[in-house]
Amino acid sequence: MNWGSPEFVLVIIALSTSGWLVNNWIRARHGYALEDEWGGKTARSDEEGAIKALRAENDVLRQQLQTVQDRLANVERIVTDSSYGLNEQIEALRLVEGRAQ
């Protein structure tokens, strides 16, 4: 093999690339941060922690929604209740009282 030939350079590039790929595969398999082309590290995403956080937020939002639904049910009950017309009844009594005087 000629040390200055293009084939030798291509073999060195292939070995370096395959070594980098194997290194990152091993690091990913064991949970270490991955290395990019320039030597920087890419942290592994914490999917389980994110899922727990989303579930906790979902529970809070469900509780808030239940509270809003309960309040809306109370408002609907008040509006549809016959005593809601109390204001009209009071006004009617005032008119009757005003005529009686």
Could you tell me if 99 and 58 lie in one domain? Answer: yes
Map residue 14 onto helix, strand or coil. helix
pLDDT at 62: 97
Tell me the whole-structure pTM to 2 decimals.
Answer: 0.40
The residue whose two tokens read 């009282």 is 97
DSSP string, 68-87: HHHHHHHHHHHHHSGGGGHH
**Domain shared by 58 and 39, yes or no:** no
What are the tens digits of pLDDT across the range 24-58?
888 888 877 777 767 677 666 667 788 888 999 99
17 and 60: one domain?
no
Q: What is the pLDDT of residue 63?
A: 96
Number of domains in the chain: 2
Residues 62 and 97 in one domain: yes
Range of the domain at 20: 1-44
